[in-house]
């Protein structure tokens, strides 16, 4: 049995050696052997050419070990594989059994897609694989790649580059410690911390894909784009440089370094040419000014405009929080450069103890000091403050309201048109001494610690002060009264609270706005038709008069 196994081993060994094709000498000017200096080798000199399984090697001199099926080539070594691949170097060691060539000394390898230069290169012909570990430069039609360690898979036209990898072209530079690059497509797959930098922007990721021809990048881990004055970060990101467009997903942070605004959310799109970004998915904006910070939330946030003229817009279920003022509305507009904020659809403001309502509310801030400056409330202006010790409410309403802030607190207020007031009067001991109700077209007042003070009735006041027991219960709230204190955000996290009934109220308001536009259009149409009918009647009358005059003649 042992003899049989030994015979099989010898047979397989013989067959294996028989299948291994020997290196064949095609030409040499001189051939000799020198067992003392080169034991087991054939020395070939001058215009040497050998062939092995479809590849040829040319050089000035070589040592050929036929038994071991090895060749050591020296001087202007040229390897050709088919019609597609050529390599030049100073030295080559080639093993015909493993089909592995080690080349060193100014190695230059070329195929139709790329050129590789390095000092030392190994070429595994069996696997059609090149690999190096002492720096290499690869150049193709699109890019130049440099790395410390790498492999090139000839069949896939793929480079796998490791350690200090740099890809450059006229448009951008890619740096990484691990990437795969395909010379036939220009695709780059990034693994680990990687950066893509052009003349304006810098992109970063820790896993992703980059198409150098279409200039498209897809990042899937810790993605970041640094624009001139804005940084976009997210878990994953898509970027198209040609279209100047980026989309980001999950854990997004957009930082506007110039205007000191940070926006966070779950999905964002950025349009570089229009300098605009919008973000959804429980988004909020943080305006981190030197003295204080303002938090703003809405279903959708958008920032547009040139760097020094940025505009923030928030849409649907909008709330904001600042230690001095809080607010809520359905849509909001803020121009940071002008310090103006506009609130639309059921807006409400809270400042100190005061609640302010109106059809629309505008307020401004001093751009330099960052303090609140003025307030404007258009149509159905209503200021309410709860009596500090009782259940009543001091109220002032009118058509328009204009106010001034002093040290971020509403101070001087002017009410114009259809003015009405209810005030709970207390003495220095906070004893209620009466309730005043006045109707006055225009009035002004000052606030002190959130309480009415120094009221002036400007035009045709009519009213009186009642003892509390004699003040009619039905008159204690002015028409349109709505106390919305439960909607007030008391801390910045409250901006995400969705208040019950909001959607229905906004929907009803939108329907009312639509109906108003329809009614207004119908009114204008009806007036135009009446005017046209009047003009026609007038023309007909004039025509009739002319005809009658002609008959008389």
Q: How large is the C-alpha radius of gyration of the chain? A: 42
The CA-CA-CA angle for residues 509, 512, 516, to 5°, reads 140
Q: Say what the pLDDT of residue 219 is.
A: 96
Q: Which domain holds residue 430?
A: 350-496
pLDDT in tens, 193-213: 999 998 889 999 999 999 998
Task: Please tell me the predicted confidence (pLDDT) of residue 364.
Answer: 92
Q: Is residue 221 part of a domain?
A: no
Q: What is the pLDDT of residue 263?
A: 93
Say which CATH number the domain at 426 has: 2.60.450
Give the predicted TM-score (pTM) of the model.
Answer: 0.78
Q: Are 188 and 179 in contact (CB under 8 A)?
A: yes
pLDDT value at residue 12: 40
The answer to the question of residue 107 being in a domain is: no
Beta strands (DSSP E) in 82-186 are 85-95, 100-111, 114-124, 129-132, 136-140, 144-147, 149-153, 158-168, 172-182
Confidence of residue 6 (pLDDT cuts 50, 70, 90): very low
Confidence of residue 532 (pLDDT cuts 50, 70, 90): confident
pLDDT band at 13, cuts 50/70/90?
A: very low
Mean residue pLDDT of the chain comes to 89
Please, which residues have CB within 8 angstroms of residue 508's CB and are 6 or more apart in sequence? none
Residue 1 has pLDDT above 60, yes or no: no
Higher local confidence (pLDDT), 551 or 190: 190
Residue 307 lies inside a defined structural domain of this protein: no
Give Cα 181 distance to the centre of its chain: 27
Q: Kindly indicate the confidence band of residue 10, based on its pLDDT and cuts at 50, 70 and 90.
A: very low
- Cα 384 to Cα 358, 394, 477: the distances in Å are 12, 6, 10
Which DSSP symbol is given to 485?
A: G
pLDDT digits (tens, 9 = 90+) for 328-365: 999 999 998 888 999 999 999 998 889 999 999 999 98
Q: Indicate whether 527 belongs to any domain.
A: no
Query: What pLDDT is stored for residue 450 in this prediction?
Result: 60
Q: How confident is residue 546, by pLDDT bands cut at 50, 70 and 90?
A: confident
pLDDT value at residue 53: 92
pLDDT at position 290 is 64
The arithmetic mean of pLDDT across residues 244-270, rounded, is 91
For residue 378, being part of any structural domain is answered with: yes
- Strand-pairing partners, residue 102, are 93, 122
- Asked if residues 287 and 323 have their Cβ atoms less than 8 Å apart, the reply is no
pLDDT band, residue 549 (cuts 50/70/90): confident
Cβ count within 10 A of residue 341:
24
d(CA 319, CA 327): 6
DSSP 4: H
| Percent of the chain whose predicted confidence (pLDDT) is above 70 | 95
What percentage of the chain reaches a pLDDT higher than 90?
Answer: 59
pLDDT value of residue 545: 80
Task: Look at residue 275 and tell me if it is in a domain.
Answer: no
DSSP labels, 220-248: EESEEEE-SSEEEEESEEEEETTTTEEEE
Where are any strands of DSSP class E within 449-495? Answer: 451-457, 462-466
- In which band, very low, low, confident or very high, does the pLDDT at 7 lie, cut at 50, 70 and 90? very low
What average pLDDT does this structure show over 253-266?
89
- Convert the pLDDT of each residue in 38-96 to its tens digit: 999 999 999 999 999 989 999 999 999 999 999 999 999 999 998 889 999 999 999 99
Residue 370, in any domain of the structure: yes
Q: Is residue 469 part of a domain?
A: yes
Per-residue buried b or exposed e for 1-32, using 16+ beta carbons within 10 Å of the residue's own CB: eeeeeeeeeeeeeeeeeeeeeebebeebeeee
What integer is the mean pLDDT of 283-310? Answer: 86
Task: Kindly tell me if the per-residue pLDDT of 449 is higher than 80.
Answer: no
Number of structural domains found in the chain = 1
CA distance 36 to 448: 113
Contacts of 307 (CB under 8 A, 6+ apart): 228, 229, 258, 259, 275
Q: What is the pLDDT of residue 125?
A: 93
């Amino acid at each position: 049995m042992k003899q049989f196994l030994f015979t099989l081993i010898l047979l397989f060994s013989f067959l294996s050696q028989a299948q291994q094709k020997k290196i064949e000498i095609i030409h040499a000017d001189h051939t000799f052997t020198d067992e003392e200096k080169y034991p087991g080798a054939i020395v070939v000199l001058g215009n040497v050419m050998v062939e092995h399984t479809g590849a040829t090697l040319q050089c000035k001199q070589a040592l050929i070990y036929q038994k071991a099926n090895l060749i050591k080539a020296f001087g202007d070594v040229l390897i050709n594989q088919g019609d597609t691949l050529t390599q030049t170097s100073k030295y080559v060691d080639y093993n015909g059994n493993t089909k592995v060539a080690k080349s060193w000394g100014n190695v230059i390898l070329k195929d139709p897609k790329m050129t590789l230069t390095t000092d030392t290169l190994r070429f595994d012909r069996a696997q059609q694989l090149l690999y190096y570990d002492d720096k290499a430069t690869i150049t193709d039609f699109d890019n130049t790649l440099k790395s410390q360690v790498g492999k090139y898979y000839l069949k896939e036209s793929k480079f796998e580059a490791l350690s200090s990898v740099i890809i450059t072209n006229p448009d951008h530079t890619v740096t990484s410690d691990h990437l795969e690059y395909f010379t036939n497509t220009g695709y780059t797959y990034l693994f680990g911390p990687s950066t893509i930098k052009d003349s304006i922007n810098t992109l970063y990721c820790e896993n992703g894909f980059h198409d150098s021809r279409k200039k498209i990048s897809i990042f899937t881990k810790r993605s970041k784009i640094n624009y001139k004055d804005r940084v976009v970060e997210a878990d994953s990101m898509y970027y198209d440089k040609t279209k100047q467009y980026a989309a980001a997903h999950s854990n997004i942070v957009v930082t506007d370094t110039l205007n000191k605004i940070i926006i966070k959310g779950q999905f964002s799109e950025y349009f570089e040419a229009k300098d605009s970004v919008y973000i959804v998915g429980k988004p909020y904006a943080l305006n981190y000014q030197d003295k204080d910070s303002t938090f703003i939330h809405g279903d959708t946030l958008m920032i547009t405009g040139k760097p020094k003229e940025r505009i923030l817009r928030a849409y649907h279920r909008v709330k904001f929080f600042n230690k001095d003022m809080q607010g809520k509305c359905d849509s909001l507009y803020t121009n940071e450069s002008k310090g103006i904020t506009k609130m639309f659809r059921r807006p409400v403001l809270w400042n100190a103890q005061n609640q302010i309502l109106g059809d629309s509310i505008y307020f401004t801030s001093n751009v330099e000091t960052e303090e609140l400056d003025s307030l404007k409330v258009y149509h159905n202006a209503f200021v309410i403050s709860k009596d500090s010790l009782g259940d009543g409410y001091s109220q002032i309403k009118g058509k328009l309201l204009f106010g001034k802030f002093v040290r971020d607190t509403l101070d001087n207020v002017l009410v114009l048109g259809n003015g009405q007031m209810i005030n709970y009067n207390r003495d220095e001991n906070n004893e209620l001494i009466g309730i005043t109700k006045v109707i006055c077209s225009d009035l002004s007042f000052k606030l002190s610690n959130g309480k009415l003070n120094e009221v002036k009735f400007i035009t045709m006041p009519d009213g009186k002060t009642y003892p509390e027991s004699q003040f009619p219960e039905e008159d204690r709230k002015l028409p349109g009264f709505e106390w919305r204190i439960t909607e007030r955000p008391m801390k910045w996290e409250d901006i995400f609270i969705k208040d019950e009934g909001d959607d229905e109220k906004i929907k009803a308001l939108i329907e009312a706005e639509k109906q108003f536009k329809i009614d207004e259009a119908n009114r204008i149409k009806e007036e135009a038709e009446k005017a046209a009918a009047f003009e026609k009647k007038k023309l007909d009358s004039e025509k009739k008069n002319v005809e009658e005059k002609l008959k008389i003649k």
